[in-house]
Amino acid sequence: MRTLLWAARREPAVQIAADLSDGETLDRALWPATLSGKLTRRGEKAPGQVAVEARLVRPDGQFEDSAKVTVPLPGEEAAFAVKLGAPPRGMAFLWLIARDAQGAVLDWSVTSLSVTSPASLERVQTQTDVIEPGEELPRG
């Protein structure tokens, strides 16, 4: 896709990318999470400041959380970090959207991630309230 944009001289002035690998696994215990990425200047028309919006989206399209940060872009590259508070469960997508001062989209990226949590027991319950010594537990 980027090759076609380059050939048509329609390459975006700014490129945005997450520091996560596609399909990366994150531990739910680490939330609220600070996720990072990088902006890269691709042309002379790149603005000096870029508004970055990060969205966590479930596979069914529902938004879990979103955050915005303004990132100065004085040179060729600029790192950024956004803090997302609501942890998704299971599979999710991290959308990163770079916008100019007027809100026009400069570039975007999507990265899949999997949020895991350690296995735990919430409750153990027997079918009877009292079991006498030597008595076998009834089966389901």
Q: Up-side HSE of residue 74: CA atoms within 13 Å toward CB?
A: 0
The pLDDT of residue 117 is 76
Higher pLDDT, 117 or 51: 51
In what helix (H) or strand (E) does residue 6 lie, and over which residues does it extend?
helix 2-7
DSSP notation for 36-61: EEEEEE-STT--SEEEEEEEEE-TTS
pTM of the model: 0.74
9: pLDDT confidence band, cut at 50, 70 and 90? low
Question: What's the rounded Cα separation, in Å, for the pair 118 and 25?
Answer: 13
> CB–CB of 16/52 below 8 Å?
yes
CATH topology for 12-116 is Immunoglobulin-like (2.60.40)
Calculate mean pLDDT across residues 43-60.
88
119 pLDDT exceeds 60? Answer: yes
69: pLDDT confidence band, cut at 50, 70 and 90? very high
DSSP notation for 61-102: S-EEEEEEEEEE--SSEEEEEEEE-S---EEEEEEEEEE-TT
Beta strands 105-116 and 24-27, pairing class: parallel
73 pLDDT exceeds 60? Answer: yes
The pLDDT of residue 55 is 92
Average pLDDT, the chain: 83
pLDDT tens for each residue of 87-115: 777 888 999 999 998 998 999 999 998 88
